Structure formats: structure tokens, C-alpha cells
């Protein structure tokens, strides 16, 4: 079952108003120009469809497993590499990056159960989400979860060239559960997952992944 996400309320209202104005303009001022009126109708429908599909909220049940790391977002794997995290972990980790295009669901889900040890919001630039420096230069959030087995998993919500608002729900000290929402990024973005060396990566480059469904790694 698919519903609409609460983060889309204002955008959906604006889309409905824009569609109404386009249809009204076509009826009132272009009634005798059939092709122009039809074009405005098509544009109105297109705007509504795009906005509604962007804020769709699929219901996905997760089988809780402390040994698995689920994908926190829908999208495509654009990076699997060893990096050193200078912000919190201060050690070498494996970074798995998921690019979320405008047609993907943009909800972000908790990939592992545990305790939020660290959270920080970083203002920044709006480079395209697949740019190598987007992880360090763009507007982003950093969230670190200590799993029930003692592993530290770091998540970054990264704004892209179109994304201008990152929404986050978790805070330090929270107990979080696999499959629950921890945020939303509007209009094109990226999520990085930084995993300890002992994690066995289960995805490949350019692989499509589904949030709360695809297993990224196993401990």
C-alpha cells in the first residue's frame, strides 16, 4: 500500500494550486486555441503526477536482524570505497553511497537497530549528489548509531543540486529500530553509509537498491 508522506503537504498544495491556475488559464483565455489549451492541461497533469510520485510513502515491513545492515534509501550504488572519517569515527571505514534520483522514494530509513551516539547538521553547498566532494562540502547531516552488537554505523544525508531541505527526526540518545524513518531529503540527494572493516559488503557498484529491502552489509 502507498500513501503520501507528511513532508509533502505544502508541495502538494502548491502543485494543486499551480495545476488549477493552468487549467483556469486554458479555459478562460485560450479556449479557442485548442493546442495551447491542451498543452496547459498536460502540463497541469504532469506537475501533479511528478509531485505525488515524489512524496509517495510505501509501507515496507522489515525482518529485524542485528547482523544485517539494510539500505537506508531507494536508489543506485554510486560508490563503494575505503575512506577515513574525520568527523566522529576517526578511522578507516567502508563507505557505501546511494544516489537518489528525483523519481526515487526520498524517505530515509534506519538501517540498524541501536542507540544514536552522535548527530550533527552541517550547512553547506549544493553540488550534484554524485560529486566526490558532496560528502564533505554539501549541506548534510551526520548520524552515528551504535548497534546492539557494538558496531558503529555512520549515516550521512547529503543534499544535491536540486535538494534544498534535509529533514531529520533522530537525536543523540534515541533508541532506534531498523526500518523506522529517520529523515527525508527533498528533490534529488544522496545517502552515505560508513561501515566498520568487519562488515561484509553485499552490494555492487551501479546496483539498484530498495530501502528497507536490500541488504547492504552483514556483520
Residues designated catalytic? 189
Residue 8 phi, psi dihedral angles, 5° rounding: -95, 5
CA distance linking residue 141 with residue 169, whole number of Å: 11
Question: Can you list the pairs that 23-27 forms with residues at least 24 positions away whose Cβ atoms lie under 8 Å?
Answer: none
Nearest to 216 by CA among 169, 153, 156: 153
Q: How far is CA 159 from the centre of its chain?
A: 9
CA distance linking residue 157 with residue 138, whole number of Å: 10
Q: Are 22 and 41 in contact (CB under 8 A)?
A: yes
The sheet with strand 181-185 has its strands ordered as 107-109, 181-185, 166-168
Q: Quote the DSSP letter at residue 15.
A: H
CA distance linking residue 3 with residue 198, whole number of Å: 38
What does the DSSP assignment read for 190-206? EEEEEE-TT-EE---TT
Amino acid at each position: 500500500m502507498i500513501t503520501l508522506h507528511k513532508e509533502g503537504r505544502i508541495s502538494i498544495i502548491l502543485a494543486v494550486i499551480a495545476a488549477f491556475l493552468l487549467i483556469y488559464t486554458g479555459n478562460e483565455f485560450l479556449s479557442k486555441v485548442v493546442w495551447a489549451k491542451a498543452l496547459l492541461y498536460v502540463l497541469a497533469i504532469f506537475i501533479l503526477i511528478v509531485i505525488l510520485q515524489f512524496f509517495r510513502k510505501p509501507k515496507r515491513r522489515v525482518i529485524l536482524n542485528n547482523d544485517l545492515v539494510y539500505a537506508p534509501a531507494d536508489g543506485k550504488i554510486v560508490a563503494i570505497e575505503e575512506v577515513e572519517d574525520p568527523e566522529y569515527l576517526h578511522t578507516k571505514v567502508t563507505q557505501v553511497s546511494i544516489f537518489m534520483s528525483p523519481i526515487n522514494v526520498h524517505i530515509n530509513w534506519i538501517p540498524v537497530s541501536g542507540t544514536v551516539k552522535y548527530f550533527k547538521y552541517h550547512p553547506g553547498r549544493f553540488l550534484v549528489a554524485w560529486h566526490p566532494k558532496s560528502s564533505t562540502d554539501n549541506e548534510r547531516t551526520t548520524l552515528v548509531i551504535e548497534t546492539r552488537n557494538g558496531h558503529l554505523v555512520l549515516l550521512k544525508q547529503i543534499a544535491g543540486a536540486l535538494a534544498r531541505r534535509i529533514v531529520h527526526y533522530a537525536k543523540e540518545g534515541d533508541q532506534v529500530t531498523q526500518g523506522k524513518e529517520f529523515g527525508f531529503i527533498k528533490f534529488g540527494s544522496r545517502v552515505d553509509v560508513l561501515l566498520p572493516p568487519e562488515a561484509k559488503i553485499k552490494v555492487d557498484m551501479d546496483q539498484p537498491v530498495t530501502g528497507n529491502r536490500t541488504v547492504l552489509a552483514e556483520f
